[in-house]
């Protein structure tokens, strides 16, 4: 499948109830053959309005986090979410909604072919690393799945709500930087 075909299918997808409430599909953004991919849980209000992932306050914080590591959505990473349509009132996407949407993400991963996937928050980590994943315990750890290295960070929204998590996230970002240098150092050149 090509990017254009996938985008078209997503745009016309009615596989779950989130389709009814959204204004725009939030498909993904960044470099389409990046070695590092970031996956959040779902679009918020600003993202829904603009059709672009991570552009609200959490997105601004994510850009700062990316800069610390040497990443930028314009240059060397691709960003998307588990669900592509906004859950109402910014609630968590349900298991059914995640399962309805996950094939689109799997297709995106096949097209991007990343070496590293960074899960932003509990929902992405549970979907991609393991159902029992506890973000408070295992953030910053490295997991191998199908020849891809996975790491989970606290979601930027969680860091906005609770600044006490920021020092440990800074340490996780240093680990991510080292992981990139180990796995695909050319990303940072
Ligand atoms: S959230 Fe995903 S599965 Fe649900 S309608 Fe939107 S694109 Fe389709």
β pairing state of 148-153 and 143-145: antiparallel
Rounded distance from Cα 3 to ligand 1 centre (Å): 17
Rounded distance from Cα 76 to ligand 1 centre (Å): 26
Sheet holding 36-40, edge to edge: 29-30, 77-81, 36-40, 116-120, 148-153, 143-145
Specify the residue with its C-alpha closest to ligand 1, atom 3.
Answer: 101
Question: Residues, the chain, total?
Answer: 189
Nearest to 78 by CA among 152, 28, 26: 28
The model carries a pTM of: 0.97
Q: How do the domains of the chain map onto residue ranges?
A: 3-7+16-183
Residue 79 has a pLDDT of: 98
Residues flanking ligand 1, CB < 6 Å: 10, 13-16, 18-19, 83-85, 97, 100-101, 104
CB of 118 within 8 A of CB of 68? no
Compute the half-sphere exposure of residue 35: CA atoms within 13 Å on the CB side of its CA. 15
Q: Which residues touch 30 (CB under 8 Å, ≥6 apart)?
A: 73, 74, 77, 78, 79
> Domain 3-7+16-183 sits in which CATH superfamily?
Uracil-DNA glycosylase-like domain (3.40.470.10)
Strand segments (E) across the chain: 29-30, 36-40, 77-81, 116-120, 143-145, 148-153
Q: Which atom of ligand 1 is nearest to the CA of 14?
A: 5
Over residues 147-176, the pLDDT tens digits come to 999 999 999 999 999 999 999 999 999 999
Residue 124 has a pLDDT of: 98
Residue 85 has a pLDDT of: 98
Rounded distance from Cα 16 to ligand 1 centre (Å): 5
Residue 161 has a pLDDT of: 96
Mark the ranges of the chain whose per-residue pLDDT is less than 50. Answer: none
């Amino acid at each position: 499948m090509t990017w254009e075909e996938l985008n078209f299918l997503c745009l016309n997808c009615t596989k779950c109830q989130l389709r009814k409430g959204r204004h725009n599909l939030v498909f993904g953004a960044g470099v389409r053959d990046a070695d590092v991919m970031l996956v959040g849980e779902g679009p918020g209000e600003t993202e829904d309005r603009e059709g672009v992932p991570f552009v609200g306050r959490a997105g601004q914080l994510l850009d700062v986090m990316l800069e610390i590591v040497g990443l930028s959505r314009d240059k060397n990473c691709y960003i998307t979410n588990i669900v592509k349509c906004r859950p109402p009132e910014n609630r968590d996407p349900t298991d059914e909604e995640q399962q309805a949407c996950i094939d689109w993400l799997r297709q995106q991963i096949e097209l991007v072919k990343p070496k590293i996937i960074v899960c932003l928050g509990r929902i992405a980590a549970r979907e991609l690393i393991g159902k029992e994943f506890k973000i408070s315990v295992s953030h910053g750890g490295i997991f191998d799945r199908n020849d891809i290295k996975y790491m989970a960070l606290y979601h930027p929204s969680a860091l906005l709500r609770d600044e006490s998590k920021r020092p440990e996230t800074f340490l996780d970002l240093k680990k991510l930087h080292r992981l990139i240098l180990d796995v695909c150092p050319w990303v940072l050149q």
